[in-house]
Every structure is written in C-alpha cells, then in structure tokens.
Structure 1
Amino acid sequence: MSALTLPRAGGGTFSHTPRTEPSPYVPGGSPLVSRTVLSAAHVVADPYADTSPDSAAAVDWDATLAFRRHLWAHGLGVAEAMDTAQRGMGLDWAGAAELIRRSAAEARSVGGAIACGAGTDQLPPGTHDLATVTAAYEEQLALVEGSGAQAVLMASRALAATATGPDDYLTAYGHLLRQAGEPVILHWLGPMFDPALEGYWGSADLDTATETFLQVVAAHPDKVDGIKVSLLDARREVELRRRLPEGVRCYTGDDFHYPELIAGDEHGFSHALLGVFDPLGPLAAEAVRVLDTGDTDGFRKLLDPTVELSRHLFRTPTRFYKTGVVLLAWLAGHQSHFTMVGGLQSARSLPHLARAYQLADGVGLFPDPELAATRMRALLTVHGVPQ
C-alpha cells in the first residue's frame, strides 16, 4: 500500500505508510463478566439533508442503529444519547428522544445492554426555578424508563445555571431518585467537556463538590446503580470510588487514564462508560475478555497503547472530541461519509485529524486498512494536501 502525505501540526508534511494487517478483533466471543462496559455512541448524520448548523439534527437512523449493533456484537453495552451523541452540540431533546426510543427498541430486539441519558435540555438556556428544572428531568426520566432502558441522570446546564448552592442539588437529585423506578447512573461531567457545567454540585472547588455528590449517593444507595465520573483526574476518581456505599459502582469516564482505572488496585476497580470506547470498542472488548481470565498484564498490554490516541482525540478543547470519533468511524467503514450534525466535522483541524488517523492505524483499529487509507487520502486531497 502506498504511503500517504500527512500534514504536521506545526507546518509541513510527513509520509505515513499504512499497515496492511486488518484489525484482528471480530464480533462474537464470550460475554464480558468482570467489568460492565458501556460505549457512549455517536450519531450518524444524514449527508443528503439540506440543513445548516442552526437546523434540527438530520440523523441517518439506519446507519446510527447499525453502529449500535456493531457495539453489541462485540459484547459491549451502549450508553445512548450522551454527550458523544452530540447531545447539546447539534442534537436537541426532540432528536435525543427519538434516538432513545429507536435504540432501546433495537436493544430489545438483539438482547443488547443499553443505558440512556436523561437531562433537562428541552429547557431554553438560562436560569429557571428549581421546580421547572426538576420537572424537565422527570419528563426525560419517564421517557427513558418507559423505553425499557436504564437511566443515566446527566449533569444539567439548567440546574448549573439555576442552583444557588449545594442544597439545591440535594433537593433536585433527592426528588428524582425517589421517583426513579430502577437504580440509575449519576453522571458528573466536568467543565472540560461542557463549560456550562462549571461549579456543578454547588461549588467550583472539587473537594467541596465531591462531598455534595457523595451526600446524594449516600442518601439513596438503593436507587444508585453507579456513578459516572468524567473529570480526567485519576487520583480523584480512585478516592471517590473508595468512598462509595457497598454495591454502588464507579463507571470511569476518564478518557486519559481508563486502563489503570479499569484494571483497578487492591481496593477495587472502575467499570466503564467511555466515549473513546466508540472507536476502540472491538479492541476494548477483547482487552476486558483478557482481564476476565485474571490476566491484568495482558489487559494492559492491549489497552495501554490506545491511550495516546485517546488523549489526542480528547485534547483541549475536549468537547470537540466527537469530530475525531466520527472520522474514525468513517475510516473504519461504519458509515459512508464524514459529515456530522451541526456541521461539527469542521471542529478539528486537518493536522489533528491526520494524527488521529495515524495513531488509529498504529494500534490496528481498522478492519480494512486499505479502505481507511483510501478515504483518508480523499479527505487530504479535498483539503489541498497533494498525494
């Protein structure tokens, strides 16, 4: 296979010779048993829709659901309508509600595990009274549970704007957890993923915020299946999971330190709910199967080399990681185009995308390396990089 000319971030170009061996990770295999692993999945835009960045999302439902079947086929669960699906960044509540209904029905048809995000994004931006925010949460929680999916109570921009301190969070979440029919996952998404969530749990001081968060969990341990922490701080996550009530899980959302957090230590481990497991799904599933045998070193040998790619995808501004995720889905053949809802395919530079391709190729993510190279070559040519 001939080499590609890739642009450097600092200027100039370099040559990359693609690998020729296809990804060895195929669907099937034994169920994952030692860890619960959920992949937060992206949505596939309809490339033929005549839309603008201000339009409602136009979703290719067939391709979107096919990607979820791909994840289930490898033994992963799906975390639906989360920020990886461009929730609040191109996908509004109406689109998210349709996504939840369709994906939950698809999960039932194939026996796949699914958890879906419930938030407050039907409300307009700005402050509201606490009762309005709580009612918005209740509406979404009812839809998720009515679909048969597990609920993930997402961090709320509206609550962040409305709450005057920790007591408002305790009141709102306490009410919601009493309403929940089944145990939920509580989601703490840091401001690096969404700047509007600065000061969540009533304080910009993370130690103070952590105490409020743990108060919510401790007051309702029977209604909390687990917590999902996306702060990109491994030390803080380890300390937090050691303080959880017995039976409450920690789902890592740390796309920088996931191998060590999932592997765990003598005091415990994290399960996973990760956006990076969208592109890494087949490899991640195989790594967990190795961990299921007790081979922690083998698990780390498979997963550690992917961290450089993940850190690249999630580099600042972190909220635009979805662009690299969708690029890799296109290169891997999971969709026919590199178009995103809201036009977000333009949110990362060409050198950034080229580096993502190089790193993904290096860890053997592509089922058809020649297809990936051909598509990357076309993207480079369109952007004026001679091949």
Structure 2
Amino acid sequence: MNSSARTLPMAQVLLCGAVVVTLSMGIRHGFGLWLQPITQEQDWTRQTFAFALAVQNISWGIFGILAGMVADRFGAFRVLVGGAALYGLGLAGMALAPTPALFALTAGVLIGAAQAGTTYAVIYGVLGRQIDPQKRSWAMGITAAAGSFGQFLMVPVEGWLIGYFGWRGALLALGAAVLLVVPLAFGLREPRRQAAGAATHDQTMRQALAEALRYPSFQLLMAGYFVCGFQVVFIGVHMPSYLKDHGLAPAVASYALALIGLFNVVGTYAAGALGQRMAKRHILAFIYFARAVVIAAFLLAPLSPASVYAFAATMGLLWLSTIPPTNAAIAQIFGIRHLSMLGGFVFFSHQVGSFLGVWLGGFLYDRTGSYDIVWYIAIALGIFAGIVNLPVKESPIARPLPHGATP
C-alpha cells in the first residue's frame, strides 16, 4: 500500500478505533451479569435468556458479513453510525421487552447487528488500509487490547449500575452511553477512494470470497475461530451463574470477568506484537491448546475465590488473543482490499460457535442441572482447534496476473 494514499494519522485511527471497541465490547462482556436478575424477575428459564444471547451471536455473525461488505465499499463511517443507533435501540428494547420473543428480537437480533457494525471486522478494515503492513499485526493487537480493557473497565461499572439503578435502568444508561460511538466514527472517516481500497488487481467481492472459501488455510482459520466463539461466550455468559450455583458470592463473578478483561489486555497486545515476528499459526495453536489445559485445571481444582481468580487471569491472557493473529493472517494471505468482508466471514464461524456455546450452556443446564458436559466439550474443542491451526499457510496467495500485465 502506498503511504501517500493514507491521510488519517495513525494515532487518530488507533485512538478512535480503540475507544469504539472498548465501548462496544465492554458492554457486551457484561451481559452475563443480567442472566439471573432478568430470569428471576421475568420468571423465565435460563434457556430463554441463553437463547436470546445465542441469537445475538448468530445475528452478529450474519450481519458482520454485510457490515464488512459495506465498510469495504463505502468506508467504516456509515457502518459505525448505524451500528451505534442499533446498539442504543437494542439495549433499550432489552430493558423493556415483556416477552421472550421480543427479548430475543432486541437483545438478540438488534444488538447482534449493532455489534457487527461497531467491533473488530469494521475497525480492522480501517487499520488494514491505514496502517503499514510492518505495523499491522501490532496495531490489531492494540485495538484488541482496548476491547479487553473495555471488559475490565465496563464489567464492574455494569455491576454497579445494576445494583444502583436496577437491571432495567442499567440497560437504559448503557443505551445512552453507546451513542458516543457516533462522534468517534468521524475520526475513522476515510476518503471514498481509500474506503474502496487501492487494489492492485480488479478482483470483485464475489471473486475474493470464492477464492477464500476454496483456500484450505482460510477454512482452517474458520474452524479455529468457531472454537474460539464457543469457548469465550459460554464462559462469559454462564460462568457467573456457574459460580453462584456453587455458593460463591456474585461479586466473585464480577471480579473474575474483570480479571479476564485486565489480563487480556496483556494477552492480545502480546499476540499482536508477536505476530510481527512469529508464525501466526503457531501463536494460534498455542492459544487453543493452552485454553484446553487451563479449563481442565479449573475443573480439577477445588472451587474457591482464589481458584476462580487464577482461572480468570490465566484465561484472560488467552481470551481475545486469537483476534490479532487471525485477522493479520487473513490480510497477509489475501491482501487488504476485501479485509472487512473476509474478516466478517471468518467471524461468522466464530459466532456460530458462540451460538452453540451459549445456547448449549442453557439447554444442557436446564436438562441436567449442571454445566459439566459443556465444560468437557470446550476442552475437546480446544485440542481440535490447536491441531487444525498448525497447517495454515500464511504466505500471500498466488494469483494470475491480469491480462497484459507484466510481473
């Protein structure tokens, strides 16, 4: 990419992108804190709440593809503004929904679509176009670390809001706060010609997608990301209830989720920085194998606040650290022109895993009275993901030169 084509200062892109992700991901990471207050007051089952969040994750994945296409074609600005508006409406609807169906529509479909327009795929498209390749993985690590800091910052705030305003008032307050994304979007507004991408060949979106879906390494990255979604969303949503079921105070869950966010600041930054020097497939394989080991150790150890905090800190190092190497590998293999769209497709796989993780957690708990089976599935999937990431080829894909072009 020609540096003269960039007009947005790197510091501005990083700052605005990081704060957008901090808000969007920070709010999302605290949704598990609402499970028991909502189900108890509304007299709903845990499966009802889990289904709505499962819909949210699959909606995020589906709309993420569309958001990526629009962002690649017209720039991130419009997508971010629309996503912020949907986020505010979804949080308000989540607070006021009187039935499970409306709850699934607002907490599920609306918020999922909002997250598609305000999180990584869209922001990483801007980073890919505006940041030099030599710093791209590092910049993605910075932004992912911001999302982790959002979890550390926002989860205790959300717990305090629920305690002070009640669960409905807390959601309405967050609905107003998320509108701060709109002014931040102006800092990520690219000139039209940059938003469309400075391509070195005339590859259409359909051609780019067909090329990627045929490429084995893209398929392997999608399989690994499926596992990532299953694990982190199951833990993020159901761990607070799992701990309460075992007699631990609600504050333990809040502190644990905050610790995951705090330590993931370190983990995601390290993964992004290491991605500039190490093979990204090795980083990803290590993360997935390590998750399997950490979850198994958590289940084997006697459950106490100390063991929960140790698990949260260790898992936090591995939490979103898959995001920078996965997206940097996609950019390295396929280039940046269709990065948001391709990132959206990989993230769709992540969200299918998220759907199954959060829904199975509620379904199997209601059927068995325990989360044990889902914990065991998470361990097995971690081993699977570690294995499938090892053969990924990260070198740029070989494409035929356009007719009449010279090498």
Short-chain TM bin: under 0.3
Point out the structure with the larger helix share.
2
Greater relative CO (CA pairs within 8 A, separation 6+): 2
Return the structure number with greater strand share. 1
Task: State the TM-score, normalized to the length of structure 2.
Answer: 0.25
Q: TM-score, normalised by structure 1?
A: 0.26
